[in-house]
Structure 1
Amino acid sequence: MSSIKQLKKNINNDIGAIIEDIYLWELSNPDANLSKSEKLIEEAIQVFDDLVKKINSVVTKGNLKKQFKAIQEERNKSIKTLLKKSANL
């Protein structure tokens, strides 16, 4: 991890790309039930908020690498979960 700022940008870009894909799916499927996709967008926004909150609440005392590694692992896991859910729309 190069910096906290870069980590936040990466999270923003990844979540933003997923939300954009969901919006494109909604536009290409206007007759579909959009409640699932709207819930998925809300979930993606919640994941973003949770990750940024965790980054901002990192304790400066202690092992910083360990704390950020845990956040990075959670990010990867959350992104994979959101991608699987968006593929199932």
Structure 2
Amino acid sequence: MANKRDLKKDINYVLGDIIEEVYIWEENNPEKDRKAGEVIIDEAITSFDTFMARVSDRTVENSSKHFKTIREDLEATAKSLAEKVNSL
């Protein structure tokens, strides 16, 4: 079960860091429109909820393969969100 706990922590840290970066960008650029940042934050929160639901799914037969897929999806989502933050 440590694998599940670690995965939940990774999801929390990665998506939390992205949200924090948006807030930092908003603080450093008060004159710019914040709507783009809000969209990224909303997407990160939605992704967080989706990932947590997937991790908590107890109907999975092969948990190691399931968790590996979630980690890969988390990496892709984080990369996509980071690119959006960098383009602000």
Fold agreement, TM-score > 0.5: yes
Which aligned runs of 4 or more in structure 1 are off by greater than 3 angstroms?
none
Gaps of 5+ in 1: none
TM-score (norm 1): 0.92
Partner Cα separation in structure 1 for residue 37 and residue 58 of structure 2: 32
Partner Cα separation in structure 2 for residue 57 and residue 34 of structure 1: 35
Gaps of 5+ in 2: none
In structure 2, what residue type is equivalent to 1:63?
N
Percent identity between the aligned chains?
36
> How much is the aligned-residue C-alpha RMSD, in angstroms?
1.1
Partner Cα separation in structure 1 for residue 58 and residue 80 of structure 2: 24
Residue of structure 1 in register with 2:27 after alignment: 27
Partner Cα separation in structure 2 for residue 58 and residue 31 of structure 1: 47
Partner Cα separation in structure 2 for residue 63 and residue 40 of structure 1: 32
Residue of structure 1 in register with 2:10 after alignment: 10
In structure 2, what residue type is equivalent to 1:51?
F
Residue of structure 2 in register with 1:83 after alignment: 82
Partner Cα separation in structure 2 for residue 85 and residue 58 of structure 1: 33
Q: How many residues align?
A: 87
Check conservation: 1:58, 1:67, Cα contact below 8 A: no
Partner Cα separation in structure 2 for residue 27 and residue 53 of structure 1: 32
